[in-house]
Amino acid sequence: MKNNNRLIKTIYMAGRKSATALLLLVAGIAGNAWAQNPLIMDQFTADPSARVFGDRIYVYPSHDIYCSENNGRKNWFCMPDYHVFSSTDLQEWTDHGMILSQEDVPWGDPDANSMWAPDAIERNGKYYFYFPTRIKDASAGESGFSIGVAIADNPEGPFEPQQEPIKGVQGIDPNVFIDKDGQAYLYWSQGKIFGAKLKDNMLELASEPKVFEVPQKGHIEGPWVFERNGKYYLTYPHVANNTERLEYATGNNPLGPFEHQGVIMDESPNNTWTNHHSITEFRDQYLLFYHDSELSPNFDKNRSIRADSLFFTEDGLIEKVIPTHRGVGITDSSNKIQFDRYSERSEFGVSIRFVDTTDTFQGWKVVLEEPEAWVKYNSVDFASAKSKIAKFRARSSGGGMLQLMTGRKEELLSEVEIEENSKWKIYTAPVQKEVKGIQDLILKLKNGDKVEVDWLTLE
């Protein structure tokens, strides 16, 4: 878990707790603690565009819902509005609520459910939110999609949409990049990837659109451009085989030419047809935000956003990112530690299942099926309080004993007997050792039969 640990150090140094607590208190909003993948566990989210504004990281995703017969197109994307989420520590994500609905877009079809992948950027104290949707007048444009802008004084909105979409742009998946010299660029896709300069007002094109032919074959969309050490990275989902994978090209200029370099992330292990991403640096660590449909295993158009750390080689090439359950950020020991989002596990006797297959937002449980089976969960922060009690939400068909240990030296922290009971129960046990700092934890079945654990916490 070298990825996670590098990021952890940085965030820890930044004194994250006081800042989060204060901000949430002042703003009067509730933080939602989800440090793992997926990042948001109470609604479907997709197409995450992550941006750092001030000391917070904001994610502007699309919002997937499930369309019924009478609302939108059944078994297709159903995307009526946008929410924005933010965090100071990649652990607690605050949902700032709906920032734009299809009903509020003067030029958009209010029933299209086509508020696809957006992006947002700051310029001179204003926040510009770029979004695609279907045009009210169906005769306009080949795909029926155009891209509009909504403006706000704050990253959380409220965003006020412009009366008309951006002239000369047909397509989806807007992405905005502002270069070091202050020139802004808009990228978008429609079968191919397009890019053009933006005027200073951020609302109109300042040059003819350029088409980027990387790669030559296979569906391509979702551009995301950034600059690092003078190199410009054009990154994009591309169907090289059956479903989308994330690839990239590099060049010396924001409008190319770009040369194809390789794959950032392979196709989804869950067969999700789309992937859509953004790459952002937060506190000296590059992060890849992307999506998958792990919360909706039977319908890949209800997706969930995720994040993992991203690294470069010395030559500035992007190292392939392997999706993790654990994600990024540190989990406070007093929060629910979701061991099903493990960092490592024994090669035997462990399975991960939904707590309730009819309500996947309840998340997963870990099932320890054999004595000595274990799961490891990296980076739990014990700084906030001395833990005295361990609480386990567990159940077991035959009873068994669980042990909780620190990851490095395998010191026993707590052990608890789980009785034979098909009902979920909270079991408590004393914490036997004082723990300090950031630790990895191991949860092991010492003896007994199948034991299921939903979460545990240390108080």
Q: Which residues are catalytic?
A: 47, 221
Is 16 or 277 the residue whose CB approaches ligand FUB more closely? Answer: 277
116 binds ligand FUB (CB under 6 A): yes
Euclidean distance between CA atoms 186 and 184, whole angstroms: 7
C-alpha triplet 247, 248, 252: angle, nearest 5°: 175
Residue the block writes with tokens 């949902």 = 95
Contact with ligand FUB (CB under 6 A) among 51, 56, 238, 276: 276
Site string for ligand FUB, 372-411 (x = CB under 6 A): ----------------------------------------
Minimum gap (Å) between residue 210 Cβ and ligand FUB: 20
Contact with ligand FUB (CB under 6 A) among 117, 120, 328, 368: 117
Residue 237: asked if its preceding bond is cis (omega within 30°), the reply is no
Is 243 or 457 the residue whose CB approaches ligand FUB more closely? Answer: 243
Is 82 or 427 the residue whose CB approaches ligand FUB more closely? Answer: 82
Window 155-194: residues binding ligand FUB (CB under 6 A): 172-173
Contact with ligand FUB (CB under 6 A) among 4, 47, 119, 339: 47
Query: Dmax over Cα atoms in the chain, in whole Å?
Result: 71
First to last CA, the chain: 26
Minimum gap (Å) between residue 118 Cβ and ligand FUB: 9
Is 17 or 192 the residue whose CB approaches ligand FUB more closely? Answer: 192
Euclidean distance between CA atoms 234 and 261, whole angstroms: 10
Is 246 or 330 the residue whose CB approaches ligand FUB more closely? Answer: 246
% helix, strand, coil for the chain, step of 5: 5, 45, 45
Minimum gap (Å) between residue 316 Cβ and ligand FUB: 26
Minimum gap (Å) between residue 357 Cβ and ligand FUB: 25
Euclidean distance between CA atoms 208 and 89, whole angstroms: 40
Site string for ligand FUB, 202-241 (x = CB under 6 A): -------------------xx-------------------
Euclidean distance between CA atoms 283 and 281, whole angstroms: 7
Is 245 or 326 the residue whose CB approaches ligand FUB more closely? Answer: 245
Interacting residues of 358 by C-beta distance below 8 A, sequence separation 6+: none
Contact with ligand FUB (CB under 6 A) among 46, 112, 413, 438: 46
Minimum gap (Å) between residue 289 Cβ and ligand FUB: 12
Contact with ligand FUB (CB under 6 A) among 3, 88, 272, 274: 274
The DSSP output letter for 360 is G
Minimum gap (Å) between residue 187 Cβ and ligand FUB: 12
Residue burial 422-444, b: 16+ Cβ < 10 Å; e: rest: eeeeebebebeeebeebbbbbbb
What's phi and psi for 235, nearest 5 deg? -115, 150
Residues pairing with 170 in the sheet:
146
Residues pairing with 350 in the sheet:
368
Euclidean distance between CA atoms 393 and 335, whole angstroms: 13
Residue the block writes with tokens 């919002």 = 63
Minimum gap (Å) between residue 60 Cβ and ligand FUB: 13
Q: Which residues bind ligand FUB (CB under 6 A)?
A: 46-47, 62, 77, 116-117, 172-173, 221-222, 274, 276
